[in-house]
Amino acid sequence: MALLDLTGKKALVTGIANNRSIAWGIAQQLHQAGAELAVTFLPDEKGRFEKKVRELVEPLNPSLILPCDVQNDEQMEDLFQTVGAQWGQLDILIHCLAFADKEGLTGDFSDIPRESYGKALEISAYSLGHLARLAKPLMTQGGSLITLSYLGGVKVIPNYNLMGVAKAALEMTVRYLAAELGPQGVRVNAISAGPIRTLASSAVGGILDMIHHVEATAPLRRTVTQTEVGNAAAFLASDLASGVTGQILYVDAGYEIMGM
C-alpha cells in the first residue's frame, strides 16, 4: 500500500500570518510528511510580520524564509531566483493569499469601488497565475500547485461580497493552469475549506454565526481544523493524488452538499 511520503520534496508555502493561518496548518503537515520547506512573509516597514513568521516556523526548520508581496514584481522574481539558487527545483507550491478591503466586504455589492475590485482580484486570483509562471521553470520534475478557495466562490455568502467573485476567478484560474501545466506533469488543485477562525476570516462580518451554522448543519455536525485542511493539501501534493488535477476539493465537514 502506498504511503503519503513527501521526503525529498521541496515545498514553497505562502500566506502564513500566525498560528491560526490555514497556511500554517498546511506547512505543518507537509513538514510531517517529510517535505523540505521554504516559507514567505508579507514584508512591512517595522518587520513585525517577518519576526512573527520566523518565530512560528522555527520548529519546522525551513530552509528559506523570504519576503513575498505579490504586488511587487521585482520581489516576486527575487523570491523564485533565490529558491532556484538554493534548491535548483521546486516540487510543491502552496498559494494561501487573499485580500479584500472593507468596502469590498460590506454594503451593497454594486457599490464596491473600482479600486477595491481590482486590488482584490489581483492579490486573490491573478497572483496564482503569476506564481505559477515564475515557478514553472523550476518544476522540471512535475509537481503540485495548491490554493485555497471557499464556498462563497460558487454561492452567495452574507458579507463575503467581493471575495466571492475573487474566489470564483481563483477557481477558474486553477482549471486553466491545470490545462496549461499538465503536459509537464504539474497538477493544480484548490481546497475549498469550511469556515475557520483565522486573521483573514475575522474581516468577514458574522464569521462566528457562520461557524455555528456549519456546526448545526454540516453532516459531520462540526467545522474543520487547520490540520484537516493541511492533511488534504499533503495528499494533493503527494503521489497518492497523481491523477488529480483541476479540481476543487471540499474540506468542510460535508456542508457543501446540504440544501435546506
Q: 118 CB contacts (<8 Å, ≥6 apart)?
A: none
**Residues, the chain, total?**
260
Give exposure, 225-259, as e/b (b: 16+ Cβ within 10 Å). ebebbbbbbbbbbbeebeeebbbbbbbbbbbbeee
Cell of 115: 479600486
Q: Is 117 a catalytic residue?
A: no
Q: What does the alpha-carbon distance between residue 49 and residue 22 come to, in Å, rounded to a whole number?
A: 16
Q: Is 160 a catalytic residue?
A: yes
Torsion angles phi and psi, residue 54, rounded to 5 = -60, -45
- Active-site option among 150, 176, 250, 255: 150
- Active-site option among 160, 176, 250, 255: 160
Q: What does the alpha-carbon distance between residue 175 and residue 240 come to, in Å, rounded to a whole number?
A: 20
Catalytic residue list: 150, 160
